[in-house]
């Protein structure tokens, strides 16, 4: 092991294993997770090629091979728990990108949710056994988040009892669905249902797209890959164009709405449950943000402990770059954020499961708040994480730019989270809608509960910045609870400002919708402040549950850093709202620097506690043993450009160039 890392680990003030248990939820979870990880790592079938040296087509091929393998393995190892399957996939697939993944994550759940018993009998078994591979085709080239805008049509023909599917325009071509380009032979297609000359809105249809046996596109189907992307090389995101393509009536998913053989449309009774899936996916993404950021921090912090550069005092040996204040200031707030998001992710998951049980018993009361909260948290955590991964990469200097660092890969795999499963700005505005509703509710005399309950008790003077005297307490910058209060006040103030501006615009514009658009910047700000408050609150509450003293101490420092760093970044809000004074902001900045120094000795142990296997990190810079340079050189030698000593282009171009000029 690298000497620097060994020293760092020996000097840590706490046992990282205990912190790993906290992150996993229990020692038992940690044990079981490692057991599953080791199953894969010790499996001779698990050959982990370095994807960086492969072309896109090769990466796709590897992913398909692994997908196919995985189905067998999961059965072989008897892994059935969804959480455990997730652990398995994460380490098995490395980038967690799986061409047949949509079959399990979208095709089958949709079939279960929206298909009749007969339909489930017909399709479920074969899709579970991958005898057919399905995907889910919703997004079109010209239409994304706004579902009603989709153009694909399914017109019922009572003569033949078939639906005729059409992509009437270029913009209506299905675009982006994963696994559609090359892998799937069936798709659940979302289309506008037209029967008896009337359009009934979006419905789901099972559409065979490739011939069983030859895998060739069926007549009337144009299907292919949408081409190279920023990342997700392993995934064949596809397009699908349908020309008068006929499917039997029974292929419309009819658990709720139905089309009778004669073309009569039967309305669904209630369809509230469909957004349960959406909430689930988004809450999962909050956890993904935490994991991706934790990985990036692990790499950047380990590398910063190994890398030596420049000098703090002339004549002294080059220090570890982690000893530079600027490097600590770049990385430690991100480390604190990673921990904050770990706890936010755990909270969202627990809440989802709790509420889901309630839904099972017919209790939908908590769903709106969860839906609103998860939308905002998905946006809040993914925006922050997106910027933070890049910051980690840049903190590794030139080597961060090389794929050897693993950071480019983490970034391009994570960044679509900002735009998929609900574009972030739209998500923030959904949260804002809930905040505005709650605000109105309070003003009409009804109390609100849950995370927005702070709207109940805010004094109206709060919006006037001059009246400092109204604050009952002074913020104590060494107390997570007091800082949570400060964030709460900020959220309350920004919600109120957005609400008032919205009211003003409504009066001026005489249209709620125009007013909404003209207030949307304020609304997004309010949502962000709300989510930030939630994150701070969850982190400080988590501290109360930590038993071990040394772990508690180090987490408390991280929590303080998370809170204070946020205040220093958004100091304008805290000053303008008179939540804090100028001199307090100066103290905050001073305290941040003290915390950097306090966290420094534990930095490596804190990333060790995330407990990532080297294969999962996929990084030469972030290796557990810290032997960076030797392995970097070995890695580069494997590059395809080094396969021959003299490159072909020399004969083709360089040599002739020398003779022609």
Question: Using CB under 8 A, which of 13, 38, 57, 504 touches another protein?
Answer: 57
| 37 versus 151: smaller Cβ distance to another protein | 151
DSSP alpha helix (H) spans, 577-627 = 582-599, 603-608, 614-617
Q: What DSSP assignment string belongs to 41-90? A: HT-TT-----GGGS-HHHHHHHHHHHHHHHHHHHHHTT---HHHHHHHHH
Check if 421 is active-site. Answer: yes
- Please state, in angstroms and as integers, the Cα–Cα distance from residue 35 to each residue in 11, 30, 40, 93, 550, following that order: 29, 9, 9, 17, 27
| 465 close to 525: Cβ distance less than 8 angstroms | no
Question: Using CB under 8 A, which of 97, 133, 535, 617 touches another protein?
Answer: 133
- Which 470-529 positions form the footprint of another protein (CB under 8 A)? 511, 513-514, 517-521, 524
Question: Using CB under 8 A, which of 52, 155, 277, 456 touches another protein?
Answer: 52
| 553 versus 632: smaller Cβ distance to another protein | 632
| Sheet of strand 238-242: strand arrangement | 174-175, 238-242, 221-225
- Grouping H, G, I as helix, E, B as strand and the rest as coil, residue 421 is coil
- Which 222-261 positions form the footprint of another protein (CB under 8 A)? 224-232, 236, 239
| 132 versus 492: smaller Cβ distance to another protein | 132
Of the candidate spans 19-27, 176-184, 251-259, 277-285, the one that interacts with another protein by CB under 8 A turns out to be 176-184
Binding to another protein by residue 104, rule CB under 8 A? no
Return d(Cα 415, Cα 408) in angstroms, integer. 11
Nearest distance from C-beta of residue 461 to another protein, angstroms: 14
| 174 versus 371: smaller Cβ distance to another protein | 174
Nearest distance from C-beta of residue 276 to another protein, angstroms: 23
Question: Using CB under 8 A, which of 129, 219, 261, 472 touches another protein?
Answer: 129
| 534 close to 431: Cβ distance less than 8 angstroms | no
| 36 versus 515: smaller Cβ distance to another protein | 515
- Which 567-606 positions form the footprint of another protein (CB under 8 A)? 568, 570-578, 582, 585, 589, 592-593
Catalytic residue among 162, 288, 421, 505: 421
Tokens read off for 83: 């959480």
376, with CB counted inside 10 A (0-12, 13-18, 19+), is buried
The mark string for 12-51 relative to another protein (x by CB under 8 A, - otherwise) is: ----------------------------------------
| 22 versus 141: smaller Cβ distance to another protein | 141
Binding to another protein by residue 137, rule CB under 8 A? no
Question: Using CB under 8 A, which of 201, 268, 450, 465 touches another protein?
Answer: 465
Q: 10 Å Cβ neighbour count for 633?
A: 11
Binding to another protein by residue 141, rule CB under 8 A? yes
| 234 versus 369: smaller Cβ distance to another protein | 234
Question: Using CB under 8 A, which of 17, 43, 61, 548 touches another protein?
Answer: 61
Question: Using CB under 8 A, which of 1, 112, 118, 170 touches another protein?
Answer: 170
Output the CA torsion 626→630→633→634 (10° steps): -100
Task: Specify the DSSP element, H or E, that contains 541.
Answer: helix 520-543
Return d(Cα 171, Cα 207) in angstroms, integer. 20
Per the annotation, binding residues for FAD are 139, 178
Tokens read off for 602: 């534990």
Phi-psi region of 55 (alpha: psi -120 to 50; beta: other; left: phi over 0): beta
Nearest distance from C-beta of residue 29 to another protein, angstroms: 32
| 364 versus 636: smaller Cβ distance to another protein | 636
Binding to another protein by residue 198, rule CB under 8 A? no
| 554 close to 286: Cβ distance less than 8 angstroms | no
Return d(Cα 621, Cα 628) in angstroms, integer. 5
- Which 387-406 positions form the footprint of another protein (CB under 8 A)? 390, 393-394, 397-398, 400-404
Nearest distance from C-beta of residue 532 to another protein, angstroms: 15
Question: Using CB under 8 A, which of 198, 267, 272, 660 touches another protein?
Answer: 660
Return d(Cα 336, Cα 558) in angstroms, integer. 5
Binding to another protein by residue 75, rule CB under 8 A? no
Of the candidate spans 19-27, 212-220, 254-262, 439-447, the one that interacts with another protein by CB under 8 A turns out to be 212-220
Binding to another protein by residue 365, rule CB under 8 A? no
Q: 10 Å Cβ neighbour count for 446?
A: 10
| 402 close to 635: Cβ distance less than 8 angstroms | no
- Which 265-324 positions form the footprint of another protein (CB under 8 A)? 307-314, 318, 324
Q: Work out the angle between the directed axes of helices 27-41 and 82-92 (0-180°, nearest 10).
A: 40
The mark string for 599-638 relative to another protein (x by CB under 8 A, - otherwise) is: ------------------------------xx-xx-xxxx
- Grouping H, G, I as helix, E, B as strand and the rest as coil, residue 488 is helix
Q: 10 Å Cβ neighbour count for 340?
A: 27
Binding to another protein by residue 142, rule CB under 8 A? yes
In sign, the C-alpha dihedral spanning 299, 302, 308, 311 is positive
- Grouping H, G, I as helix, E, B as strand and the rest as coil, residue 433 is helix
Binding to another protein by residue 469, rule CB under 8 A? no
Looking at residue 252, the DSSP 8-state letter turns out to be B
Nearest distance from C-beta of residue 381 to another protein, angstroms: 15
How many chain residues interact with another protein (CB under 8 A)? 141
Task: Specify the DSSP element, H or E, that contains 225.
Answer: strand 221-225
Nearest distance from C-beta of residue 613 to another protein, angstroms: 22
Active site residues: 421
């Amino acid at each position: 092991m690298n000497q620097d890392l060994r020293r760092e680990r020996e000097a840590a003030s706490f046992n990282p294993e205990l912190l790993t248990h906290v992150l996993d939820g229990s020692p038992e979870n940690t044990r079981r997770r490692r057991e599953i990880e080791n199953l894969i790592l010790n499996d001779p079938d698990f050959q982990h090629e370095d994807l960086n040296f492969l072309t896109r087509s090769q990466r796709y091929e590897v992913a398909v091979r692994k997908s196919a393998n995985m189905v067998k393995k999961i059965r072989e190892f008897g892994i059935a728990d969804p959480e455990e399957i997730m652990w398995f996939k994460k380490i098995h697939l490395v980038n967690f990108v799986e061409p047949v993944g949509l079959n399990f994550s979208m095709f089958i759940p949709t079939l279960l949710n929206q298909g009749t018993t007969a339909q489930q009998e017909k399709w479920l078994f074969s899709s579970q056994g991958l005898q057919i591979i399905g995907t889910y085709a919703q997004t079109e080239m010209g239409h994304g988040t706004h579902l009603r805008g989709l153009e694909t049509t399914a017109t019922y023909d009572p003569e033949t009892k078939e639906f005729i599917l059409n992509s009437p325009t270029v913009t209506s071509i299905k675009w982006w669905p994963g696994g559609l380009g090359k892998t799937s032979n069936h798709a659940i297609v979302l289309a506008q249902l037209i029967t008896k000359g009337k359009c009934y809105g979006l419905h789901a249809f099972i559409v065979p797209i490739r011939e069983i046996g030859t895998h060739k596109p069926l007549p009337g189907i144009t299907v292919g890959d949408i081409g190279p992307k920023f990342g997700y090389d392993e995934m064949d995101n596809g397009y699908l164009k349908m020309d008068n393509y006929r499917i039997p009536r029974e292929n419309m998913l009819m658990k709720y709405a139905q089309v009778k053989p004669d073309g009569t449309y039967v309305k669904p009774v209630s369809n509230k449950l469909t957004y349960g899936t959406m909430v689930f996916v988004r809450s999962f993404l909050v956890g993904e943000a935490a994991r991706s950021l934790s990985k990036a921090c692990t790499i950047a912090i380990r590398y910063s402990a190994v890398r030596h550069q420049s000098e703090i005092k002339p004549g002294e040996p080059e220090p570890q770059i982690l000893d530079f204040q600027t490097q600590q200031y770049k990385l430690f707030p991100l480390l604190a954020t990673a921990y904050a998001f770990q706890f936010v992710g755990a909270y969202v998951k627990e809440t989802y499961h709790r509420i889901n049980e309630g839904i099972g018993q017919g209790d939908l009361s908590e769903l709106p708040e969860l839906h609103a909260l998860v939308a905002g948290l998905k946006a809040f955590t993914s925006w922050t994480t997106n910027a933070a991964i890049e910051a980690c990469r840049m903190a590794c200097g030139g080597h961060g730019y090389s794929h050897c660092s693993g950071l480019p890969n983490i970034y391009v795999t994570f960044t679509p989270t900002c735009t998929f499963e609900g574009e972030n700005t739209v998500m923030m505005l959904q949260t804002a809608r809930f905040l505005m509703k709650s605000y109105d509710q309070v003003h009409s005399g009804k109390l609100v509960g849950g995370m927005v309950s702070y709207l109940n008790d805010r004094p109206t003077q709060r919006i006037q910045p001059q009246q400092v005297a109204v604050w009952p307490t002074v913020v104590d910058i060494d107390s997570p609870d007091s800082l949570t209060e400060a964030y709460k006040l900020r959220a309350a103030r920004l919600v109120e400002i957005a609400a008032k501006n919205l009211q003003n615009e409504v009066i001026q514009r005489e249209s709620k919708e125009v007013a909404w658009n003209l207030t949307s910047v304020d609304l997004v700000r309010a949502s962000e402040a709300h989510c930030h408050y939630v994150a701070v609150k969850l982190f400080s509450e988590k501290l109360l549950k930590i038993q071990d003293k040394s772990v508690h101490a180090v987490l408390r420092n991280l929590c303080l850093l998370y809170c204070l760093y946020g205040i220093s970044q958004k100091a304008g809000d805290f000053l303008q709202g008179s939540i804090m004074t100028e001199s307090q902001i100066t103290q905050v900045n001073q305290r941040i620097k003290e915390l950097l120094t306090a966290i420094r000795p534990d930095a490596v142990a804190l990333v060790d506690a995330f407990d990532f296997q080297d294969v999962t990190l996929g990084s030469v810079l972030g290796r557990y043993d810290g032997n960076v340079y030797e392995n970097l050189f070995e890695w580069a030698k494997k590059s395809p450009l080094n396969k021959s000593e003299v490159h072909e282009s020399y004969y083709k171009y360089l040599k002739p160039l020398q003779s022609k000029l």
